[in-house]
Structure 1
Amino acid sequence: MRKTFCFIALLGGLSLPQSRAALPDGALPFIFDSHLYLQATLNDTVHASIIYDTGADFLYLDKDFLELNHLQEAFGRKGTARMGGAGNSDPQRVDIFIDPIKIRCGELDYQNKITPIIGLRDILGRYIDGLLGNTHLLQAPLMINFSESYMAPLAEPLPPDSLAGYHKLEARFEENRIDIKARLQIDSANVVEGWFRMDIGSGSTVSLTHETTSTLHLDPVPKAYFTTQAGGVGGGAEEVTIRAARFCMADTLENLVMDCSLNEKGALSFDRPYLGIIGNEIWSLYDIVLDPLHASVWVKRNQDKGTYSQSSTTHMAIVDRTDIGDGWIVNGLYKGGIAEQAGMEIGDTIIAINGRPVKEISWEEQRKGLGLKGTTRYTVRKANGKTVTYELFVQKPII
């Protein structure tokens, strides 16, 4: 994280140093950890850590957050609904609260009409309680300032000097979503240009839909195959990770690590009004102004050098579930990577790294990165309850 702020009610009990700079009136400070973590209060009494997701509409709550805090019945009557997401499955039936829930986020007050209950922590880990979409947070112009880690509603019309130094992107706002014109060049034979969906609910760089992927000639392109059990609300996902020569939006990014979806269903499959999605490894490089009233997106490059050219060195994906167990769950693996070769399986629970229990590793340390290199010992509990130790030689990125 670039800069930290002092919170009254801290996310996950984490203590952060106070920022030197004062925030604008009405600002919503966030912690950036691939996603934008905000503080909210539900029905005046329940504190929750939520993320902003431009790929969503309203409030969604995590099922384990409700169960662990004995809140299953706290928000009134329940019903059911079907909903899909980025995962590779058909829309699934989920429980919903059908009584309105009041939401206070900073100085903004909303009322949610229906609230789905979904498995967010299975995807993002123990520090998320819910997510909030565009219906509430994007009613007026909104600044997302990655330089100082805050969001802030802006006056309408925008003050003349508020966009100094910003670049206006070609954008469209349709059905509560935001699309951006961009150009992706993988190599001389593979160029994709058109509309990409802005997805601040994604922690990735660029992810192409399966339909877009199927138009490319990727046989000679170095690639790594990835499978996860938590690709989104819709379940698991399959994709290939590759490098692209350049991505052009406001400016040009070179040597980009990106994903090509192989999903047959869900938001990254076929028949989508976009070529792919743009996630926070790209958006965090800019300070952003979203103006829904004029269908405008403005960006200004910040000082963050970014991680868009880096790929996994452990060749697996993990999620912290020490809220319900003893460790971190392996929820994704690269085919033929060092983790899979050592014997790691999706669903394994990592309980210690180099002899250190992962329960002792704070969220702040996780966000900074563990700096693992060379021979690394993972103590793992298998699905059958057996505990084993795997040694991985952490050195080369997967792609």
Structure 2
Amino acid sequence: MKIIIPLIILLTLFSCNNQSQNKSEQEPIKEAIILPDNAIPFIYKGGVIMDIKVNDSIMGSFLFDTGSDQLYLDSSFVANNNILTQKGRTKEISGVGANTPRVPVSDNIKLEIDSLTITYNNVPVLNLNSIRGEKIDGIFGIDIFRSSVLRINFDSSYFQIIKPSDFVIPSEHDSLKITIAGNKTFIKCKALILDSLNVDGFAMLDLGSGHNLTFTSVIAHDFNFNDNITNKYSVTHKNAGYGGDSHSYYFRAKKLNIGKYTLENPVMNYSTDESGGLSMWGPMGLIGIGVMKRFDLIFDFPNKKLYFKPNSLFNEHFFSSTTGFTGKYRESDSVAGFIIGNVIENSPASAAGIKPGDIITHLNGLEILSYPDTERNNLFLQDTMELEFKIKRGTESHIVKFVPREML
């Protein structure tokens, strides 16, 4: 079975908010490197996070999100830096999840990245950390780069901003035409779900999503994924995006083709949402950073081309959930740890008695927030050593132990 999905009705489709996911995603191992002179470093923490100057003097930690339709600011960042919100003015926002909340807005917000500047008005202000699960001060999209060529190097974690007049088309990269609609970027790809089932179409590049490929509920319904895909598990992501909760099933597909390159046995997910960004007709879904981090990317925005070639992460295994829980890290006066949002049935976590709302405060005797991300994730991704978790439930704490095991 095959379909080619036309790229239309895109302007109001996805806000790139599908942030919640299994935190056991493997991260690149960093070695000592020398960056090019014009490199702009970023930190990879399940997404591209970089320091940006705001309003000429304020430094903030921002998530770069190719699925973001505009700039968003975190409410704590706004309050701590005395940035004014417009009295009596609000703006409705939407994205993954069913809700369309109205939030305060700020005007005259200037961003500066290297030699590029852009000023925004009517900028939504909301609690981004409750969505992301880790501290960020804002989310920005591609608009600041629209007149430039942008290279993203995931091996060494840096951007390069190139003047179009200085850009030389790289001979070693494959290329695809990109379509930009509503400040969002779309490319064609092909997913082989089963030997007898594939889906072709346009997908939105969503570097703000930690997933690999997320299908909309429309595609899932049209291809009867519920019946055709039998080996899967269910996850409800709490506060997944600007619109609230979102539900998906995760499964392991056969292949994903992007240009001339083929990714083998990727874990994908399909939404069952009846409203919100993942329920809209048009694109097949979202391609997240779990896929795109495997390529050296060059966005030639003026000519609407994406150049890409595999990097050192290309053949990295696509992990499904190994713990059986999802959630978000929190650090505040009242909470410090990993808050469990969802526990997968028949998983190591469910067998150990972990429940939604539990807070993991310690891992193997150490505070879980004290672990470097890579070290913590490597513990989750192994399947030979028993892990010890200290769990806080209400006013009581107890210890649970289990050996991680891949669910797919």
Classify the TM-score, shorter chain: 0.7 to 0.9
| Aligned-pair CA distance for 1:80 | 1.2
Instruction: Give the aligned partner of residue 249 of structure 1.
Output: 258
Instruction: Answer whether contact 1:281 1:307 (CA < 8 A) is retained.
Output: no
% same residue: 26
1:95 aligns with 104
The one of 309, 312, 323 equivalent to 2:321 is: 312
Aligned to 1:275: 284
Determine if contact 1:170/1:296 at 8 Å carries over to the other structure: yes
1:167–1:51 CA distance, 2 compared to 1 (3 A): same
The answer for unaligned runs of 5 or more in structure 2 is: 1-26
Give the direction of change, closer, same or farther, for the CA distance of 1:291–1:283 in structure 2 (3 Å limit). Answer: same
Range moving further from structure 2, 51-60 or 116-125: 116-125
Return the offset for 1:66: 4.3
Stretches of structure 1 lacking an aligned partner (at least 5 in a row): 5-16
The answer to whether the 8 Å contact 2:323/2:380 transfers is no
Residue of structure 1 aligned with 2:392, choices 381, 384, 391: 381
Deviation digits for residues 301-331 of structure 1, max 9, x if unmatched?
Answer: 1121455521111111232212452212123
Question: What residue is the counterpart of 1:171 in the other structure?
Answer: 178
The one-letter code sitting in structure 1 at the alignment partner of 2:386 is T
The answer as to 2:60 corresponding to 1:51 is no
* Amino acid paired to 2:221: S
* Aligned residue type for 1:318: G
Q: Post-superposition shift, 1:158?
A: 5.2
- Residues in 2 aligned to 1:380 and 1:66: alpha-carbon distance in whole angstroms: 33
Higher relative contact order (CA 8 A, sep 6+): 2
**Structure 1 counterpart of 2:51:** 39
Correspondence 1:358 to 2:371: no
Q: Relative to 1, partners in 2 of residues 1:222 and 1:2: Cα closer, same or farther, differing over 3 Å? A: closer
Distance 2:345 2:128 in 1: 25
- 1:173 CA drift (Å): 2.0
2:202 alignment partner in structure 1? 195
**Equivalent position to 1:82, from 92, 100, 103:** 92
Residue 10 (structure 1) aligns with:
none
Question: Shift of the alpha carbon at 1:38?
Answer: 0.6
Is the Cα–Cα contact under 8 Å of residues 253 and 266 in structure 2 kept in the other structure? yes
State the 1:200 CA deviation. Answer: 1.0
Which residue pairs with 2:72 in the alignment?
Answer: 60
The worse-fitting range, judged by mean Cα deviation, of 387-396 and 53-62 is 387-396
* Whole-Å separation in 1 of the counterparts to 2:28 and 2:347: 31
Name the counterpart of 1:226.
235
Q: 1:159 aligns with which of 167, 174, 187?
A: 167
Structure 2 residue 35 is matched with structure 1 residue 22:
yes
Q: Does 1:132 align with 2:144?
A: no
Query: Following the alignment from structure 2 to structure 1, what is the Cα–Cα distance between the partners of residues 375 and 108?
Result: 37
Q: Would the aligned equivalents of 1:30 and 1:150 in 2 still touch at CA under 8 Å?
A: yes
Partner Cα separation in structure 2 for residue 366 and residue 103 of structure 1: 33
Which of 149, 155, 161 is 2:157 aligned to? 149
Give 1:398 deviation, angstroms.
Answer: 1.4
Q: 1:266 maps to which residue?
A: 276
Most deviating of 344-353 and 127-136: 344-353
Question: 1:114 maps to what in 2?
Answer: 122
Q: Does 1:208 align with 2:221?
A: no
For 1:238, the equivalent position in structure 2 comes to: 247
SS of alignment partner, residue 319 of structure 1: strand
Is 1:348 aligned to residue 355 of structure 2? no
1:171-204 Cα offsets, whole Å, 9 max, x none, are 3222222111111011123211111111111111
2:331 corresponds in structure 1 to 322
Q: 2:21 maps to what in 1?
A: none
Counterparts in 2 of 1:387 and 1:255: CA distance versus 1, 3 Å: same
CA distance in 1, matches of 2:379, 2:103: 34
Larger deviation, residues 356-365 vs 34-43: 356-365
> SS state of the match for residue 377, structure 1?
strand
For residues 180 and 133 of structure 1, the distance between their equivalents in structure 2, rounded to whole angstroms, comes to 16
Which residue in 2 is equivalent to 1:186? 193
The alignment's C-alpha RMSD in Å is 2.3
Q: Is the 8 A contact 2:146 2:302 kept in 1?
A: no
1:379 is matched by which residue type in structure 2?
Answer: K
Distance 1:322 1:397 in 2: 28
**Partner SS, residue 110 of structure 1:** strand
CA distance 1:146–1:138, shift in 2 (3 Å)? farther
Query: What amino acid does structure 2 have at the position aligned with 1:42?
Result: V
- Structure 1 residues 289, 355: CA separation in 2 closer, same or farther (over 3 Å shift)? same
Deviation sequence 1:42-75 (CA, Å, 0-9, x none): 12232211111111133211234445xx34x433
TM-score by length of 1: 0.87
Distance 1:392 1:185 in 2: 37
- Three-state SS of the structure 1 residue aligned to 2:361 is strand
Residue pair 1:379, 1:387 contacting (<8 A) in 2 also: no
CA distance in 1, matches of 2:366, 2:301: 48
**1:275, distance to aligned residue in structure 2 (A):** 0.4
With over 3 angstroms needed to count, the CA separation of the structure-2 counterparts of 1:107 and 1:335, relative to structure 1, is: farther
